[in-house]
Amino acid sequence: MEARAIQWTVRQSARKMRLVIDQIRGRAVPEAYAILRFSKKLAAQQIHKVLRSAVANAEQQAQRQNAAFDADQLRVAYAVVNEGPTLKRFTQAAMGRATPILKRTSHVEIRVAGADAPPTSPVKAGTAEAKGESPAPARRKQAAPKTAAQPKRKAAASRSKKGSK
């Protein structure tokens, strides 16, 4: 069983949110709650809300299917933060100018799954991992052979400037 929760346009930059979401990805839900609860980052509060919503969605799904449900058996199978729309504002600056302020937002998606489900990670379609193949080792480029250095020619006598004697 897998359940997800998405929060759109969180008023926090995606870069700051990713610092927190990387800490809980792949962990058990109770452990993720503990990490988020004691984190000093403001983003942890928003991610905690999304995680609680994902667990509640899993519980609703289990009730609809008349299946046994234990929140302690869930783990964070997929957690990603993407950039949302940027609000562009301006503030006044010296000499009558205006400088831009970018108020960044982000989208948070968390999927929780039972402990027996394999972890899912964001893999681009068309890559070797998505097709189930192991990626080919990277080839090293061969350096171009060095050419023999030519001796420098002596500079021609400098021309005199007009009017100088």
- On whether the CB atoms of residues 80 and 109 are closer than 8 A, the answer is yes
Nearest Cα residue to 70 out of 24, 30, 32 = 30
Looking at every residue in the chain, the average pLDDT score rounds to 87
At residue 161, the pLDDT reads 62
Buried/exposed 63-95: b ≥16 CB within 10 Å, e otherwise: eeeeeebebeebbbbbbbbeebeeeeeeeeeee
Quick: pLDDT tens for 78-111: 999 999 999 999 999 999 999 999 999 999 999 9
At residue 80, the pLDDT reads 97
- On whether the CB atoms of residues 44 and 28 are closer than 8 A, the answer is no
Question: Looking at 19-28, 61-70, 94-103, 152-161, which range is the least confident one?
Answer: 152-161
Domain boundaries in the chain?
Answer: 2-115
- On whether the CB atoms of residues 27 and 72 are closer than 8 A, the answer is no
Quick: pLDDT tens for 111-120: 999 877 665 6
Domain 2-115 part of CATH 3.90.470.10:
yes
Token pair 């193949």 in the structure block, residue: 133
Buried/exposed 25-58: b ≥16 CB within 10 Å, e otherwise: beebbeebbebbeebeeebbebbbebbbbbbebb
Nearest Cα residue to 3 out of 66, 52, 43 = 52
CA separation for the pair 62, 47 (Å, rounded): 23
Residue 149: CA atoms inside 13 Å, Cβ hemisphere, count?
A: 3
